């Protein structure tokens, strides 16, 4: 019979602090109480507390600042950090941007269909997508803003689908592709053609119209067609690019 391993004291302390962070009882940017306070609260030894802090640091939930103004600063999990971790794994496996966009061609249209199927889409989906289109339209002539604005529309389609696991997982792929696409079109060389930009903006508006009408099948089809064209345009320019985890930190 396999023996059941008892959790170490440090793991118990780390678990309690982790729960406080994930539940929001300890907010982002807060500093954990001092060592003396934590020792008194948990009744553990200094080595056990230091190990618990190290566990949380390894989890990425805190960062320890040294010096007089030091302390353990809290960093709850975020989509950006999840995307960064996924991009590091993909980079280590030599995955290509085409792999990410290929996944999104299948996954993002599902989110578009879910947006169209939401009964509360007129308050929880359409206004957010229309706001992104408004920004795209107002800043259309600003070439430096075009790709970031266009990518935020796609990210909004995913973030408004109403399913948290899909928002996190597919949203992470969106952030990775956004970083790659921004890198491709920010390089020196021929900018994206105006007719391509206008066609993409029209596609976005048609997609919003389908979502507003609750036409799930049309929303899925429009998203698939648009993503296929956008993927082809970007990969044609950035064929030599690879996935780079460092690009995630450059997303605006």
Distance between CA atoms of residues 199 and 43, nearest Å: 64
pTM above 0.85, yes or no: no
| Predicted pLDDT at 249 | 64
User: How sure is the predictor about 47, in pLDDT bands with cuts at 50, 70 and 90?
Assistant: very high
Residue-wise pLDDT tens digits, 69-103: 678 999 988 888 889 889 999 999 988 889 999 99
pLDDT of residue 66: 79
Predicted local confidence at residue 250, as pLDDT: 55
Token pair 């119209």 is found at 209
Residue 244 has a pLDDT of 82
Structure token pair of residue 183: 């890198």
Task: Specify the pLDDT at position 138.
Answer: 94
Phi, psi at 74, each rounded to 5° = -85, 135
| 191, containing H or E segment | none
Compute the chain's Rg from CA coordinates.
Answer: 22
Provide the pLDDT confidence category of residue 1 given band limits of 50, 70 and 90: low
Long-range CB contacts (within 8 A, 24+) of 93-97: 94/242, 95/243, 96/242, 96/243, 97/177, 97/180, 97/234, 97/235, 97/238, 97/241, 97/242, 97/243
3-state secondary structure of 165: helix
Would you state the pLDDT for residue 228? Answer: 94
pLDDT at 65: 84
Q: How far apart are CA 183 and CA 235, in angstroms?
A: 12
List where CATH 1.10.10.10 sits in the chain. 9-74
Task: State the span(s) of the chain assigned CATH 1.20.120.530.
Answer: 79-250
Q: Cα–Cα distance between 37 and 101 in angstroms, integer? A: 49
pLDDT at residue 169 in the model: 94
- Residue 238: the pLDDT is 63
pLDDT tens by residue, 170-214:
999 999 999 888 888 775 555 678 888 999 999 999 999 999 999
Report CA torsion sign: 168, 96, 227, 183: positive
**Domain 9-74: assigned CATH number:** 1.10.10.10
Q: What is the pLDDT of residues 222-239, one digit of tens each?
A: 999 999 998 888 888 766
Integer Cα distance of 165 and 195 in angstroms = 36
How does residue 245 score in pLDDT terms, banded at 50, 70 and 90?
confident
What pLDDT band is residue 153 in, cutting at 50, 70 and 90?
very high
The domain defined by 79-250 carries CATH number 3.40.640.10: no
CA 199 to chain CA centroid, nearest Å: 26
* pLDDT of 240 strictly over 80: no
Side-chain half-sphere exposure of 206, counting CA atoms within 13 A: 16
């Amino acid at each position: 019979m396999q023996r059941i391993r008892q959790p170490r004291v440090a793991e118990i302390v780390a678990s309690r602090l982790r729960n406080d962070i994930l539940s929001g009882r300890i907010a982002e940017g807060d500093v954990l109480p001092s060592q003396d306070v934590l020792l008194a609260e948990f009744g553990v030894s200094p080595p056990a507390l230091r190990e618990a802090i190290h566990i949380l640091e390894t989890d990425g939930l805190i960062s320890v600042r040294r010096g007089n103004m030091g302390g353990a600063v809290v960093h709850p999990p975020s989509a950006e950090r999840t995307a960064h971790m996924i991009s590091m794994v993909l980079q280590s496996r030599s995955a290509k941007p085409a792999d990410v966009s290929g996944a999104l061609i299948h996954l993002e249209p599902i989110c578009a269909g879910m947006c169209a199927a939401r009964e509360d889409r007129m308050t929880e989906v359409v206004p957010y997508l229309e706001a992104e289109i408004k920004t795209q339209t107002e800043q259309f002539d600003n070439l430096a803003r075009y790709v970031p604005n266009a990518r935020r529309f796609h990210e909004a389609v995913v973030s408004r689908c109403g399913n948290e696991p899909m928002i996190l997982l597919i949203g992470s792929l969106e952030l990775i592709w956004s970083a790659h696409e921004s890198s491709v079109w920010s390089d020196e060389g021929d900018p994206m053609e105006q007719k391509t930009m206008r066609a993409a903006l029209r596609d976005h508006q048609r997609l919003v119209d389908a979502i507003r009408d609750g036409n799930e099948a049309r929303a899925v089809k429009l998203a698939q067609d648009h993503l296929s064209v956008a993927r082809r345009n970007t990969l044609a320019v950035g064929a030599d690019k690879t996935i780079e985890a460092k690009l995630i930190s450059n997303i605006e």
